[in-house]
Amino acid sequence: MAKRISEAGAVAAKGQKRPPRDAERTRRAILAAAEKEFAEKALSGARVDAIAERAGTNKQMIYYYFESKEKLYQLVLEHAYGAMRKAERELNLLDLEPLQAIRRLVEFKCDYDFAHPRFIRLLAVENLQNAAFLVRSQELKAMHDSLIVTLETILRRGEERGEIKPGIEPLQLYITISSLSYFYMSNAATLSVVFNRDDLRRPDQFALRRTHAIEVAMDFVRPR
């Protein structure tokens, strides 16, 4: 009861309308709409009015829940990264044999990039801003640290069995695995033109890239 009174007072103080009863659904709708807007137009070109229209709400609700366009943008980044990290955790890589785990991670990265083109665009936008907003997120740093620890465990286990060559640095391996699909997807439009190929984003074209990425990664980690 006290929370409801506090929210109502905060809204009144800002001269805004009372938020909808289903607050979580409204927040999710705004985040989804903002992800589309930021991916298409970047932070500088995105408009709060356009996000509100996409979400089926009004901009007062956006300011009520997220305070500013910049804070909304940071939450969109955290949500997008968090979703990918959650999907990676659900792979349960430590339950697999070392080589099987590496292969599964490569497959996952390829499939995830292909299925989430907006995530690719959001990363491009944030890189143009020198990661100015990602650097503020302590939560994301913890997620990445956990992933690298998992990968290091897999690599060391594979070394002990003689299945993986020694000395592979887990962070460098993860960056390499990520780049095998990320670069392809982030540059597919220009690559299609300069090499005079059909749209490289087509499923059949990407399937060729996926197979190649798996072969490259697995050939690298195996002992010579």
Of the two residues 54 and 134, the one the predictor is more confident about is: 54
Query: Tens of pLDDT along 1-10?
Result: 333 333 444 4
- Quick one: pLDDT at residue 21? 59
220, two tokens: 């690298």
Q: What is the dihedral of CA 152, 157, 161, 167, to 10 degrees?
A: 20
Same domain, 166 and 105: yes
Query: Tens of pLDDT along 158-170?
Result: 999 999 999 999 9
Query: Tens of pLDDT along 163-190?
Result: 999 999 999 999 999 999 999 999 999 9
Same domain, 164 and 56: no
Name the residue type at position 104: R
Query: What's the chain's average pLDDT?
Result: 89
Instruction: Decide which of 67, 89, 119 is a domain's last residue.
Output: 67
User: 95-104, 129-138, 139-148, 190-199: which has the highest mean pLDDT?
Assistant: 95-104
Same domain, 90 and 192: yes
Average pLDDT of the segment spanning 151-160: 97
Average pLDDT of the segment spanning 91-97: 96
Contact between 164 and 155 (Cβ < 8 Å): yes
Q: 157-181: string of b/e by CB count within 10 Å (b at 16+)?
A: ebbeeebbeeebebeebbebbbebb
| Least reliable range by pLDDT among 75-79, 120-124, 128-132, 155-159 | 128-132
Share of residues in the chain with pLDDT > 90 (%): 76
**Short-list 114, 120, 122, 111, CA closest to 201:** 114
Instruction: Decide which of 67, 91, 119 is a domain's last residue.
Output: 67
- Quick one: pLDDT at residue 121? 93
- Round to whole Å and give the CA distance between 120 and 73: 15
Same domain, 156 and 122: yes
Same domain, 80 and 159: yes
Give me the domain span that covers residue 212. 73-224
Share of residues in the chain with pLDDT > 70 (%): 89
| Least reliable range by pLDDT among 10-19, 147-156, 158-167, 198-207 | 10-19
Same domain, 119 and 161: yes
> Which pLDDT band holds residue 214 (cuts at 50, 70, 90)?
very high
Same domain, 62 and 79: no
Instruction: Decide which of 67, 83, 108 is a domain's last residue.
Output: 67
- Quick one: pLDDT at residue 1? 37
Name the residue type at position 219: D
- Quick one: pLDDT at residue 11? 46
- Provide the CATH number for the domain around residue 96: 1.10.357.10
- Quick one: pLDDT at residue 129? 87
> Is-above-0.85 flag for pTM?
no
Same domain, 176 and 215: yes
| Least reliable range by pLDDT among 20-34, 167-181, 191-205 | 20-34
pLDDT of 80 higher than 80: yes
> Could you please report the per-residue DSSP string of the chain?
-HHHHHHHHHHHHTT-PPPPS-HHHHHHHHHHHHHHHHHHHHHHH--HHHHHHHHTS-HHHHHHHHSSHHHHHHHHHHHHHHHHHHHHHTT-GGGS-HHHHHHHHHHHHHHHHHH-HHHHHHHHHHHHTTTTTGGG-HHHHHHHHHHHHHHHHHHHHHHHTTSS-TT--HHHHHHHHHHHHHHHHHTHHHHHHHTT-S-TTSHHHHHHHHHHHHHHHHHHHS--
Same domain, 84 and 59: no
CA angle 89-105-90, nearest 5°?
A: 20
Same domain, 89 and 1: no
- Quick one: pLDDT at residue 22? 82
